[in-house]
Amino acid sequence: MKRTKTKSSPRRAARNSGEPGHGAQFTVAELERIAERLIAYSEADETEIEIDSTTDALTRFANNTIHQNVAERTISISVRAVVDGRTARALTNKTDEESLRRVAAAAATLARHQPENPDLLPMLGPQKYRKSARFFASTAAENPQDRARAVTRVCKMAEKRKQTAAGIFSSGSMQATLANSKGLFARHQQTRAEFSVTILEENSSGWAKSNSPDIGEIDPDALAESASRKCADSRKPRELEPGHYTAILEPPAVLDLVGFLFYDFAGTAVLDKRSCLTGRMGKKIFGENITLWDDVYHPLQLGAPYDGEGLPRQKVLLVDRGVPKNLVYSRATAKKMKTKPTGHGFTLPNEYGEAPMNLVFSGGDKSVDDMVRSTERGILVTRLWYIREVDPYEKILTGMTRDGTFLVENGRVAGGIRNFRFNQSMIEMLSNVEMLGAAVRAAGEESFEMVVPAMKVRNFHFSEVTKF
Amino acid sequence: MMQDWATSAIETAKRRGATYADARVMDIRQREISTKNNEVGTLAESESLGIGIRVIADGAWGFASTDRLTREGVQACAAQAVNIAKASALAKRENVALAPENAHVDTWQNPFLKDPFRIPVERQIDLLLAANKEMLRVKGVTLAEGGLSFRRIDQLFVSSIGSVIHQVKMQSGGGIVATSFANSEIQKRSYPNSFGGQHSLQGYELIESLDLVGNAPRIAEEAVALHSAAQCPEGSGTIILGGSQLGLQIHESIGHPIELDRVLGQEANFAGMSFLTVDKLRKLKYGSDIVNVVADARLEHGPGLGTFAYDDEGVPAQCTPIITSGLFTGYLSNRETAAAIGETRSNGTMRTESWNRLPIIRMTNISINPGTWKYDDLIADTDDAILMETNRSWSIDDRRYQFQFSTEIGWEIKGGKKGRMIKNPSYSGITTEFWNSCDAICSRDYWTLWGTPNCGKGQPMQTMGTGHGASPSRFRNVKIGVAFAK
């Protein structure tokens, strides 16, 4: 839970009056009371309350100085009403009596004004959840001075090396409450810290990023050192001809590619025939070395142990040695597809159903150095950028390399190269993986964080080259 | 109440040592409706009210926001913004300097005919369900979807230089999509545009003007027909881009690179930088002589998602020439970056997604001026080309040189006539080479101010709506078909 160290008197006064101060989140007890009041106010047949209370702060730097520095405190109060087999949602961030009564009434009114939903199931009763330890007081206590000091060290390091640093250092906390009129009550607390840095020179750049619920796991100096080294090593990039190369993809690059597969594992996506797994379940479409789980309980994962309806999340084996084995299902999708729900449903009402949000690859035992040493000629990729889907069924993605792209020759990194565009089928790529690193918690920019390994991939299609 | 909160924030910030402060109180109401295969998907309404306070103290920036709108909550938030600014000063290289701006006291609301929040929800749902039904009548359609979204933003800006600006903006948007899965292939057609349809600063009259139900059968038939269409060839040649695709091309390869915060390195870690370094201003031949592009936030440009009276830094809406007869002539700036490059005034492009986000430089309406061609004459004048319509994917490097786009549908142009359908069309290129290859732009009769509602930028990420006026245009010697090359 975020608490700034500002000792302003209005804040103390607010605390003394029993009201949360500006920078403080609502307490669990306060959120519970809001949920109880909303359920009491609602005249719907069934009512579900979801409340998220968040504090976040982010220090942003560029050109070796802090240029943006922000903090926010928000609450989202969401009411889902069910009336005569119809459901709708209304949201507010106002906590006064009148607003709470109004949002409860608005959800019920919206619900009435639509056709009956034949797929709608009764709300769940009380559930049991596994405990998760994803709240760190040290992360919640981080303040702008702490972040500024870390950023100053990084900027000074860059300046000393005649380089330029840009990036972010952020921290925050959230608590979520989900309750309904059938007696279900779920809560989740989580903190989050993130440091991302790009180091630039005249014609090269390097990048590193890490995030964790525990700010003690974040080492800004080590990340900046890594980015600085990549920047120096990629000076004066040469231009290579586009073509098919062996690609060594560091974990952030793998993450941002395989992240595009997450919705394909939704039961609804297969039902709607928009998944690349339509007609491919149970068939060996990836390599033997690809095994993939969805596992919110994995120690490197984040997230609540329940889904949008409050159903406990299950660990699901999605791909077993190259074979897509299972999908994930919300309650309604499971009923339609005559199977059991897995606890992956989105908040209702929605048209997308569900998705696995906590992907974990099984990984291997090779290091990136092992991959480089075993490569006669290939491309080492730090990160990717602006990835978009070109073909949804063959799962062809396009995008660019960025901030540290290297030629590998005869088992050595032979220098920086100009950035490539790629057009690559994910199904082919995951059939061409020659080596896997240990699965780590990776942070990129195109996908939510997952546990993925570095990969050495043969025949990766770099289709064009840019000018830097 | 809005003014009390904002004034209290400014006074507190000044008392705490701020040398400049501004506050934005924003009250945002939204409605989202979607349908899929004859059923309602999303049905939700939301409201969000809060204040964002931006200050300069000790020569550095700080920003804090809160939805605790009590006197104590607002004052604590202002104090926090000053505290953050003083922390920023720990890593300061020089004091923040702002280009001068006058104080403005004004009230403005965009004109609209029909308040979408007063239109019964049942009527809005019925419209989408009717379009769903029409699409599903076509054999081979496996997924029929539709969506409507409405947003009303009531905002008050107050600054320590004396500005008090009240603006109310009403936005509407909607569209439909038909998807067909067959023969291990997914094909899709959207109307009037992909990724949510058309969006603009209008009321419900926008939705009524789109005729979603009337266009549903056509796009459904096209989605199915694409399975048996010829694959887009590989090579280089002439392309004609439909207006909405050209709008996105402008967004990615002109709109983003002219953002001065990118140019000056402020987005280097995330959104990226720009090839348009300051030495290129008024020197670079960006496009061919017929290419004229403006950044125009004024209402007279049209009801775009980038239309307003004042930006979120209190600077009046302006029209800035970006490309003039092919020459690069202007950036998008704010008060800080304008001062940094020696300009005398910001051209008014600071925008924020909501009260809890810092305003940053964003596109307004970045539009290509209409040309002279009639559409039929352009087709008749084209011997061999592919006409590409409705975006399917888009990607560009982090300095905005190299891009690749694909569209939902293409048509072969042979001997001045529109011929067979082409599937999986794509093209790629280098920004300045591409714009210099433009040799025909259709006239005002074919020009539409398209809305892009989903432009992401900033950390924390902000999503912003931008406008892009464009008409169908022709480009020569363009690389075609790379996306599907083996």
Task: Look at residue A231 and tell me if it is in a domain.
Answer: no
Number of domains in chain A: 2
- Answer with the one of A152, A184, A216 that is the final residue of a domain: A216
- Do A23 and A61 belong to one domain? yes
- Do A196 and A327 belong to one domain? no
- Do A374 and A464 belong to one domain? yes
Q: What is the per-residue pLDDT for A6?
A: 31
Residue A212's CATH number: 3.30.2290.10
- Do A149 and A271 belong to one domain? no
Judge: B42–A349 Cβ closer than 8 Å, yes or no.
yes
Alpha carbon distances (Å) from A382 to A233, A244, A368, A441, B269:
12, 18, 11, 15, 14
Q: Which structure tokens are listed for A106? A: 């608005």
Coil, strand or helix at B350? strand
Rounded distance between C-alpha atoms, residue B321 and residue B334, angstroms: 16
Task: Look at residue A224 and tell me if it is in a domain.
Answer: no
Rounded distance between C-alpha atoms, residue B174 and residue B202, angstroms: 12
Measured between CA atoms, the residue of chain A closest to residue B16 is: A8
Rounded distance between C-alpha atoms, residue B267 and residue A62, angstroms: 7
Task: Look at residue A408 and tell me if it is in a domain.
Answer: yes
Q: What is the per-residue pLDDT for A26?
A: 82
Task: Look at residue A82 and tell me if it is in a domain.
Answer: yes
- Do A312 and A432 belong to one domain? yes
Q: In which region does residue B81 sit, left (phi positive, over 0), alpha (psi from -120 to 50) or beta (all else)? A: alpha
A residues 267-296 lying closer than 8 A (beta carbon) to B: 272-274, 278-279
Rounded distance between C-alpha atoms, residue A6 and residue A10, angstroms: 10
Q: What is the per-residue pLDDT for A28?
A: 85
- The ipTM, to two decimals, is 0.96
Rounded distance between C-alpha atoms, residue A107 and residue B375, angstroms: 48
Q: Which structure tokens are listed for B222? A: 């096209």
Q: Which of A89, A274, A402 sits opposite B179 (nearest CB)?
A: A274
Q: Which of A88, A151, A385 sits opposite B91 (nearest CB)?
A: A151
Task: Look at residue A143 and tell me if it is in a domain.
Answer: yes
- Do A50 and A158 belong to one domain? yes
Judge: A90–B45 Cβ closer than 8 Å, yes or no.
yes
pLDDT tens readout for residues B132-148: 999 999 999 999 999 99
Whole-number CA gyration radius for chain B: 23
What DSSP letter does each residue of B38-63 carry, written as one string?
Answer: TEEEEEEEEEEEEEEEEEEETTEEEE
Query: Which residues in chain A have Cβ-Cβ distances shorter than 8 Å to B47?
Result: 91-94, 103
DSSP category for residue B118: G
Identify the segments of chain A with pLDDT beneath 70. 1-25
Task: Look at residue A56 and tell me if it is in a domain.
Answer: yes
Cβ of residue A148 closer than 8 Å to a chain B Cβ: yes
Which residue type, as a one-letter code, is found at position A399? G
Cβ contacts below 8 Å, chain A against chain B, sum to 313
pLDDT tens digit at each of 486 positions of chain B:
899 999 999 999 999 999 999 999 999 999 999 999 999 999 999 999 999 999 999 999 999 999 999 999 999 999 999 999 999 999 999 999 999 999 999 999 999 999 999 999 999 999 999 999 999 999 999 999 999 999 999 999 999 999 999 999 999 999 999 999 999 999 999 999 999 999 999 999 999 999 999 999 999 999 999 999 999 999 999 999 999 999 999 999 999 999 999 999 999 999 999 999 999 999 999 999 999 999 999 999 999 999 999 999 999 999 999 999 999 999 999 999 999 999 999 999 999 999 999 999 999 999 999 999 999 999 999 999 999 999 999 999 999 999 999 999 999 999 999 999 999 999 999 999 999 999 999 999 999 999 999 999 999 999 999 999 999 999 999 999 999 998
CATH, range B2-228 = 3.30.2290.10
Rounded distance between C-alpha atoms, residue A306 and residue A292, angstroms: 20
Measured between CA atoms, the residue of chain A closest to residue B87 is: A145
Q: Which domain holds residue A24?
A: 9-216
Judge: A393–B125 Cβ closer than 8 Å, yes or no.
no
Q: What is the per-residue pLDDT for A13?
A: 30
Instruction: Give the minimum alpha-carbon distance from B371 to chain A in angstroms, rounded to a whole number.
Output: 30
Whole-number CA gyration radius for chain A: 24
Q: What is the per-residue pLDDT for A218?
A: 97
Rounded distance between C-alpha atoms, residue A307 and residue B425, angstroms: 39
- Do A265 and A207 belong to one domain? no
Q: Which of B393, B395, B397 sits opposite A419 (nearest CB)?
A: B397
Q: What is the per-residue pLDDT for A61?
A: 98
- Do A368 and A435 belong to one domain? yes
Q: What is the per-residue pLDDT for A24?
A: 57
pLDDT tens readout for residues B58-70: 999 999 999 999 9
Domain ranges of chain B: 2-228, 230-484
- Do A88 and A202 belong to one domain? yes
Q: What are phi and psi of B342, to 5 degrees?
A: 85, 15
